[in-house]
Amino acid sequence: MEITRRQYTVDLKFDVDGAIGTIVLNRPEKRNALSLELLQQLSSLLTSISQNNDIRVVIMKGEGKVFSAGHDISQLVGRELTYYKAIFDTCIEVMEKIQRLPQPVIAQVHGVATAAGCQLVAACDLAVAEEGTLFGTPGVKIGLFCSTPGVPLVRAIGRKRALEMLLTGRMILAEEAEQYGLINKVVPPDQLAAETKALAEKIAEASSLILSMGKEAFYTQVNLADFQAYDYAKQVIVTNLFAEDAREGLSAFLEKRKPIWKGK
C-alpha cells in the first residue's frame, strides 16, 4: 500500500503532516469495531508506514463518538473455525506490528475503548485520553473472555489490575486508567487533539534512526532478566555511538546548536 499525502481506504483514513502520520479508524456507525477487513487494511498500512523514514511518529485515533468498541461482534457468530482464526491471527499481527514499527505510536483516545479497542490502546507505545473516556475488557459478561486483549493489558498495568478488569468486566474511567499506567495523560476534551499532537511533535524532534533503534531496544530488553537486559542495552548504546546522527547530536550539544538529522 503506497502512502500518499492523504489516503482513504474503506475503513481507515490516513494523513501525513510533516513528520507525523495519523491513522483514523473510520467505522463510526459501528463504533469503530475492528472488523476483519479493517484489521487487514490496518496491517497493510502499518507495513507501508514502517518503510517510510519521513514519518517519525504515528497517532492512532477513532472517527465519531468513540475510539473503538473492540471486535465486530457480528463477525463472531455463526462462522467457520478458519474465519475466527483469520480474525484473531490478523488482530495479533496488527498488535505485533505496532510494537515492531520503527515509529512510536500514540493512541489518541476518546469516548470508549473496550475489549480489542482497549487492547489497541495497550499495544500502542503511548496514550493520551480525554476526561471521561471509558476503558474495559467486558467480554466475560457476554461469555467471551478477553484473552487476547489481556496480553498487552497485563504488560501495561500488571497482573492484579489486569485480572480485575478481565474477571469483572468493570469499566474504568480515564483518570483511573492513568493511575494504572494504561495511558500517559488525561486532558479536557477540547484539548485532546492539541495535547496529542504536542506530544507527537516533541518526539518528532529526534532522529528517526535513533527513535527506531531506541524503541526496538526497549521492547527487546523489557522482558529479559536484569543482567541480560544490561548486556543487550550496552551493545545497543555502543552501536548507537557509531551512527551519523549520534555523532551529529553529540557535536551539536557541545557546539550549542540544533542538530541536523540525516536518519543514518
DSSP string, 138-193: GGGGGT---TTTHHHHHHHH-HHHHHHHHHH---EEHHHHHHHTS-SEEE-GGGHH
pLDDT at 36 over 50: yes
Domains identified in the chain and CATH numbers: 6-204 (3.90.226.10), 208-254 (1.10.12)
Of 125, 180, 135, whose CA–CA distance to 157 is shortest? Answer: 180
Compute the average pLDDT of residues 188-197.
Answer: 98
If 0-12 CB within 10 Å is exposed, 13-18 middle and 19+ buried, where does residue 91 land?
buried
Unique residue bearing C-alpha cell 551519523: 244
What's the confidence (pLDDT) of residue 3? 57
What's the confidence (pLDDT) of residue 223? 87
The angle subtended at Cα 151 by Cα 147 and Cα 155, nearest 5°, is: 145
What's the confidence (pLDDT) of residue 1? 45
What's the confidence (pLDDT) of residue 196? 98
Please state, in angstroms and rounded to a whole number, the distance separating the CA atoms of residues 102 and 75. 32
pLDDT in tens, 237-260: 999 999 999 999 999 999 999 999
pTM beyond 0.85: the answer is: yes
